[in-house]
Structure 1
Amino acid sequence: MEKKQKWALWALSSVPLVMTLGNSMLIPILPVIERQLNISHFQVSLIITVYSISAILLIPIAGYLSDRWGRKKVIIPSLIITAIGGIITGWASWKLANPYMWILIGRVIQGIGAAGAMPVVIPCVGDMFKDDDEVSKGLGLIETSNTLGKVLSPILGSALAMIIWFMPFLFIPVLCAAAIILILMLVKPPTSKQEKVPVKEFISVIKEILHENGRWLYTIFLIGAIIMFILFGMLFYLSNVLEDRYHINGITKGFVLAIPLLALSITSYITGKKIGDNQKAMKWCICIGLVMLGGSLLIPLFSKSLYILIATFVIGGIGIGAALPSLDAFVTEGIDKKHRGTVTSLYSSMRFIGVAAGPPIFSLLIKGTDNIIFYVSIALSFIGAFLTLRFIKPTNEEKVSKHE
């Protein structure tokens, strides 16, 4: 890997870091926002959900535009839009007596920006390297940056909220500005001219790709959604439980939430470096990771002490950390560069569906017994492991080459 490529990769890694912080650092302060605005568990969960829903709807469009115009021309405007959304949420929280609706509007705008940022980074890494092994390592770093953002987010979000509860909203534009500067200075993606394919023909080609590769692609899409559903749902659950049951709040709660996320981040980094272009290794990392996730969630059915819960989420975090970079590499290396942006954007949309669904569904489930939350998550984890064994075939012949 050349030195310029390394710097470009680090600059691109700032995008998932910013996008993750912009969303995940709100998780630990949702109970604070709930009290400040005098709203319900479900209403506060929508602050996460509306962001994800707007991203879901626009990610495929962003992927198509990045295939046609170039990755960088989509990423930069997307970061600007994300910053505008952060300004709106911060301003409304600061100046308005009843800012809830304006916070949701700002979060929708942030989601629009997110649609063209993180999802486009994945195919951009695929474009930068010809060797599949280098692609896997690059995607491992991107996924590690994503999970590192999850590690920092509870600590940073809690620390900022200690200054004033809406400070995390105002910090988002600062993060976006830093990422924009890094991308402009350091990222120079390949300057290959894209053929301007009519939308109708483009849709036809994508349908053909999905038809030929549907079994393993749809499986990866679904597993991505399952993992993010469980991850964000459990983070929402743990954030509330730490305050309500164990009376842990503020930055202390942030550090507790960061422990399993750190395990996730370290595992993600190691996995990305080790799997290379070995699709068989990717498949087993996904399967074993899901089994670890589901198996870990059996533990709280017998004991819900604080230490048991933390140990549970550490083991589950390791499982997720093994699965995510493997999913990224499988879907990126299985599609040719010409259509990589759009197909990986569909995968990103499915991950955002999981992010959007997790907090509100868990907010409803949390009203009953805790065990319901764990039963649902365990079932989904083992279903994902079964689908991985059944439908993901580690063979290079499944790569799409006829459309090149």
Structure 2
Amino acid sequence: MNIKGSNISFSIFFIGLLPFIMVMGNSLFIPLVPSIQKTFQLTTVESGWFLTSFSVPAAFFVLIGGVVSDHFGRKRICAIGLILIIGGCILSTISLFYVSASWNFLIAGRVIQGVGAGIVSPLAMAFIAELYDGKERLKAFGTIEVYNGVGKLISPILGGFMLLLSWNISFILYLAIALLALAGIFISIRKESITNSSLSLKQLIRSQNQMWQEHWRWLLPITYGGGVGMFLLFGYLFYLSYVSEQASPFPSEWNGVIIAFPLIGLTVCSYVTGRFLKNTTDMYKRMMLYGVMLMVAGTLGLFARESFSFIVLAMFFFAAGLGIFLPAANAALAAIVSKETRGAVFASYSMIRFLGVAFGPVLFGIWMTNMEQLIFNAFFFISGLALFMAMSWHCFPIGHDCDHEKMSHI
């Protein structure tokens, strides 16, 4: 059942909070990592696990959340995930004041938060695919990436302000947003708008295999690009948090604003792409190509790392390219999947993206000992996306049209 009229903006706000919550679970804490490291006397790699303890369970439970929502309803599963986030925030907050082994209980709370965030995250795209059609669906997918971008944008700024007070109150803020999303989903989305899948697990697996056989030329660059893009983005942000601490001409309280600057490019480009994207093969391809070119340029720009301003600018270009790539990839994926497998497909895609989020900070924490190797590693991953696009697509809309081709025979 489609949403029409004034209910569109009302509903999309609360649907958009779902990926916002996932993004905030890491981005809010990135500026706080150096302070957390000092508080608990951790190494750089150990401090990276503060982020990864959230992202790894989130990535794996993304798939579970999407699959079970196909069978039991998006709204019900969404509520369970949000309640888990709330519980995890309460545990982490209490552990800092009343538990002597606070680090272990803090991490336990982060794991629970990650499980809940993983469950709710893929439901946003599944909600949109079911509740919107045509141009409204394209705009809604662009809006979802805007929420992703806004979450990445304001979370580190909020984290920077937390440094002025106490970093542990960030869990209270995270809890409040989860409560808002829980109330909003129940108010704005009608129960009869959700369609449950009647497919068995065996049928679901068969359907997924068939879809990959038919559409691998789209699915390969979409899934790889989403995963690697998020991996590099969060790795860059983790790296930038330490560079800002050491080389920024501004006070440490402004580190959150500095980290947020590249994400302006992600947010603005996601919004613009979503507004101008058309439901054609040519448009999907063009936007993904433009996005990859900017990501490559941003990665190569890190070779000018002697200048702090150039580092921030290079990351701005990379984030802007990712902001162009993701809405086009999301819309192309929605055009491929069947109604019965939407939850599982978007969950698989989201899982790959958030596995990138999970391991970006940890691996960049290791690579930061050799900056040239870090840049070459990053370039290797992003150039792989360009290679997969060249290998998968027989026709590129450069100087001519490819829209005569069917999506399953690109």
C-alpha change, 1:187 and 1:161, in structure 2 (3 Å) is farther
1:21 lines up with 2:52 in the alignment: no
2:221 corresponds to: 219
Unaligned stretches of 5+ residues in structure 2? 395-401
Q: 1:256 aligns with which of 255, 258, 263?
A: 258
Residue 290 (structure 2) aligns with: 288
Partner of 1:347: 349
Q: Is the 8 A contact 2:22 2:118 kept in 1?
A: no
Find the counterpart in structure 2 of residue 383 from structure 1.
384
Deviation string, structure 1 residues 108-151 (Cα, Å, up to 9, x no partner): 111111122121110110101132x2211101001101110100
Alpha carbons of structure 1 residues 150 and 192: separation in structure 2 relative to 1, 3 Å: closer
Q: CA deviation at 1:94?
A: 2.8
Please state if 1:10 is matched with 2:16. Answer: no
Aligned residues: 398
For residues 225-278 of structure 1, the C-alpha deviation after alignment (integer angstroms, 9 at most, x for no partner) is: 100010000000000111123364543111111111112101110001111312
| Deviation (angstroms), 1:219 | 2.6
Does the 8 Å contact 2:89/2:109 carry over to 1? yes
Aligned counterparts of 2:218 and 2:136: Cα–Cα separation in 1: 23
Q: Distance in 2 between matches of 1:399 and 1:3?
A: 36
Match in the other structure for 1:101: 104
Match of 1:373? Answer: 374
Q: Whole-Å Cα distance in 2 between the matches of residues 130 and 399 of structure 1?
A: 21
Structure 1 residues 363 and 192, CA, compared in 2 at 3 Å: closer, same or farther? closer
Distance in 2, matches of 1:392 and 1:121, equals: 29
Q: Is the 8 A contact 1:5 1:128 kept in 2?
A: no
**Alignment CA distance shift 1:110-1:117 (3 Å):** same
What residue in structure 1 maps to residue 306 of structure 2?
Answer: 304
C-alpha deviation, 1:18, in angstroms? 2.3
Amino acid in structure 2 at the alignment position of 1:95: Y
8 Å Cα contact 2:58/2:354 also seen in 1? yes
Aligned to 2:63: 60
Mapping of residues 194-233 of structure 1, within 5 Å: 194-233=196-235
Deviation at 1:399, TM superposition (A): 6.4
1:2-401 counterparts in 2 under 5 A?
2-131=5-134, 133-188=135-190, 191=193, 193-246=195-248, 248-368=250-370, 370-392=371-393, 397-398=406-407
* Cα shift at 1:192: 5.8
For residue 219 of structure 2, what is the amino acid of its counterpart? L
Question: Normalised by the size of structure 2, how large is the TM-score?
Answer: 0.92
**AA matched with 1:118:** S
What amino acid is the match of 1:6?
S
CA RMSD of aligned residues (A): 2.0
Q: Tell me the secondary structure at the aligned position of residue 194 of structure 1.
A: coil
DSSP 3-state at the match of 1:180: helix
Q: Distance in 2 between matches of 1:192 and 1:315?
A: 38
In structure 2, how many angstroms separate the alpha carbons of the residues matched to 1:218 and 1:353?
16
**Residue by residue, what CA displacement relative to the aligned partner does 1:205-226 show, whole Å, maximum 9, x if unpaired?**
2222223223421331111110
Deviates more, 1:316-325 or 1:224-233: 316-325
Instruction: Return the offset for 1:323.
Output: 0.8
Write the distance in 2 (CA, Å) between the matches of 1:142 and 1:264: 12
- Do the aligned partners of residues 147 and 157 (structure 1) sit closer, same or farther apart at CA in structure 2, a change above 3 Å counting? same
Give secondary structure in 1 for the equivalent of 2:164. Answer: helix
1:64: Cα distance to partner?
A: 1.3
Q: Distance in 2 between matches of 1:68 and 1:348?
A: 18
> Is this contact kept in 2: 1:229–1:355, CA < 8 A?
yes
Q: Which residue of structure 1 lines up, in the alignment, with residue 399 of structure 2?
A: none
1:14 and 1:145 in contact (8 A); partners too? yes
Alignment partner, residue 398 of structure 2: none
Shift in CA distance, 13/333, structure 1 to aligned 2, threshold 3 Å:
same
Q: Does structure 1 retain, via aligned residues, the 8 Å contact 2:197–2:340?
A: no
CA contact (8 A) 2:237 2:259 kept: yes
Q: In the TM superposition, what whole-angstrom CA distance separates every residue of 1:320-340 from its partner, at most 9, and x where no partner exists?
A: 111111111111221122111
For residues 303 and 196 of structure 1, the distance between their equivalents in structure 2, rounded to whole angstroms, comes to 54
Q: What code does the residue aligned with 1:292 have?
A: L
CA contact (8 A) 2:159 2:256 kept: yes
2:111 and 2:19 mapped to 1: Cα distance? 18
1:99, distance to aligned residue in structure 2 (A): 1.8
Distance 1:387 1:189 in 2: 41
Q: Distance in 1 between matches of 2:37 and 2:100?
A: 14
**C-alpha separation between the residues in 2 aligned to 1:94 and 1:123?**
39
In structure 2, what residue type is equivalent to 1:79? Answer: L
- Which one is further off, 208-217 or 371-380? 208-217
User: What amino acid sits opposite 1:19 in the alignment?
Assistant: M
Secondary structure at the aligned position of 2:167 is classed as: coil
CA offsets 1:34-65 (integer angstroms, 9 cap, x no match) = 00011111111112112221122222221111
Q: CA separation of 1:139/1:279 partners in 2, compared to 1, >3 Å: closer, same or farther? A: same
Check conservation: 1:226, 1:380, Cα contact below 8 A.
yes
Distance in 1, Cα, partners of 2:125 & 2:194: 17
Q: Is the 8 A contact 1:86 1:173 kept in 2?
A: yes
| Paired residues of 2:297 and 2:314 also in contact (CA < 8 A) | no
Distance 1:192 1:321, change over 3 A: closer
